[in-house]
Structure 1
């Protein structure tokens, strides 16, 4: 393997554990400069994404001695739910930080979710065996399954799985106003999955979501229950057994926002339908959304109100959406981006 000036490590680091640290240290041993790509940046907090990009960057920083910190750059990167675009975004980000398009990618093939490591040719790839018997999913489960008074016991069980600095960080983080809501949502999702555990095969859920734009605004609802209670989302829901996709989209729109328009008005306003089917787009399980895009044109904003599963409904200026990314449910910001072009290419 030829000498390189830049090594790259990619991960979500939720939380940062000893396996992650081993990859970063191997990268530091191979190159004078290391870029750590923080995946799933800008996601709303959830049991899958409890720690913000800034918090994960701090966990990484605290785990390294000062001399090594100076050699590490952190690149937060949003999920794009499109592997080709995402790989190019990683490459572009590394080149922007380092000035070179050559790098050594250091990683571990954990399971099928690690196949993206093969997509970075002509970068060199250093595939390492598993460094520690630790999994971030299990660490999060231990944290969310425990009672508040058991926090010290949970962190003690992490002693051979995470750096001491990560335990200290999570101990302090647990006193911020996030953990109780995450535990509640975790319990809901766990119950949801258990309800389907007896199915003869893994369920695949079919849903609809609706993008309605009007006079420079888009219609959003604020979710009234878990998962994602309090987050902003598109109106939508599950397809009923006797509905077509279009019928389900119109029904969910009316049920959650009270928006009622003449059938011909909606039909003329339909601009397209896109399918969102990334395997990891929903914490509830494999969920495929058929998202309908309506443009009502330049007219007075119709009256709406939150009802059914929606705590609120409002017309949001499209110009304000980019600042709301971390407040959006699941991949709904990326649905909006698909139709409205919110994120500049590259």
Structure 2
């Protein structure tokens, strides 16, 4: 069991089976974009009427450098990216962690709906969903050395005290889609990272 709060609660009526992508989106970076685009293309080719369901994981984690943005902020990132890409017929849901891998799929299904098809780059996730009877598409993790979440966050943290917007865009623009980067800059959502290093001292 976990001591984390079980928020949000599952909806009374989860979405119908669709094509599911789950990520933490801390923040949404190009690795996520590749995965989401692949799922959208698969849907267009084989199941045009189905819903693309995006699950935002770790929705109940406290704010830390590993989890600097709230579930609501991450939903805004996903929404901004989807709109910029022109991807429609989507459903976004936030899913709390339970720290119990064997029971994860049944827990997550209460939020993203029951067995459909899931796209993932994570082998452990693929195994769990396969065992639960899902169709699983396991994609290779492209440019892992660049698109690991912790690397993107650390780069963002080092830029959090830089007040030259052009410089910030030049560096983060190679890691984060412009629609998401616009949101992070316009909402001043990078500044908090300066105080999330060891000891709470600002970087830079």
Q: TM-score range by the shorter chain?
A: 0.7 to 0.9
**Residue aligning to 1:88:** 106
1:248-297 residue CA offsets vs partner (Å, 9 max, x unmatched): xxxxxxxxxxxxxxxxxxxxxxxxxxxxxxxxxxxxxxxxxxxxxxxxxx
Ranges in structure 2 where 5+ consecutive residues have no aligned partner: 1-16, 44-49
Task: Say whether 1:120 aligns with 2:129.
Answer: yes
Q: Following TM superposition, by how much is the alpha carbon of 1:67 offset from its aligned partner in structure 2, in angstroms?
A: 8.4
Instruction: Output the CA distance in 2 between the equivalents of 1:67 and 1:159.
Output: 16
Q: 1:65 to 1:147 in 2, by over 3 A?
A: closer
Q: 1:83 to 1:183 in 2, by over 3 A?
A: same
5 Å-filtered alignment, 1:100-111, equals 101-109=114-122
Instruction: Output the CA distance in 2 between the equivalents of 1:146 and 1:161.
Output: 13
**Residue aligning to 1:129:** 140
**Residue aligning to 2:83:** 65
Tell me the SS of whatever aligns to 1:28: helix
Tell me the SS of whatever aligns to 1:162: coil
- Alpha-carbon contact 2:19-2:39 (below 8 Å) kept: yes
Instruction: Output the CA distance in 1 between the equivalents of 2:153 and 2:164.
Output: 12
Q: Following TM superposition, by how much is the alpha carbon of 1:142 offset from its aligned partner in structure 2, in angstroms?
A: 1.5
Task: Say whether 1:39 aligns with 2:57.
Answer: yes
Instruction: Output the CA distance in 1 between the equivalents of 2:169 and 2:66.
Output: 18
TM-score scaled to structure 1, two decimals?
A: 0.46
Tell me the SS of whatever aligns to 1:42: coil
Ranges in structure 1 where 5+ consecutive residues have no aligned partner: 96-100, 189-225, 228-346
5 Å-filtered alignment, 1:1-346, equals 6-31=18-43, 32-65=50-83, 68-95=86-113, 101-109=114-122, 114-121=123-130, 122-132=133-143, 133-146=146-159, 148-150=161-163, 152=165, 153-174=167-188, 179-180=191-192, 182-188=193-199
1:199-227 residue CA offsets vs partner (Å, 9 max, x unmatched): xxxxxxxxxxxxxxxxxxxxxxxxxxx69
**Higher RCO (C-alpha 8 Å, min separation 6):** 2
Tell me the SS of whatever aligns to 2:76: helix
- Alpha-carbon contact 1:107-1:126 (below 8 Å) kept: yes
- Alpha-carbon contact 1:28-1:68 (below 8 Å) kept: no
Q: Compute the RMSD of aligned alpha carbons.
A: 2.4
Count of matched residue positions in the alignment of Structure 1 and Structure 2: 174
Q: Following TM superposition, by how much is the alpha carbon of 1:162 offset from its aligned partner in structure 2, in angstroms?
A: 1.5
Instruction: Output the CA distance in 2 between the equivalents of 1:151 and 1:39.
Output: 32
1:15-72 residue CA offsets vs partner (Å, 9 max, x unmatched): 0011111211211222331111100103222111111111111111111237855311
Q: Following TM superposition, by how much is the alpha carbon of 1:151 offset from its aligned partner in structure 2, in angstroms?
A: 5.7
Shift >4 Å, 4+ stretches = 66-69
- Alpha-carbon contact 2:156-2:172 (below 8 Å) kept: no
Tell me the SS of whatever aligns to 1:37: strand
TM-score scaled to structure 2, two decimals?
A: 0.75
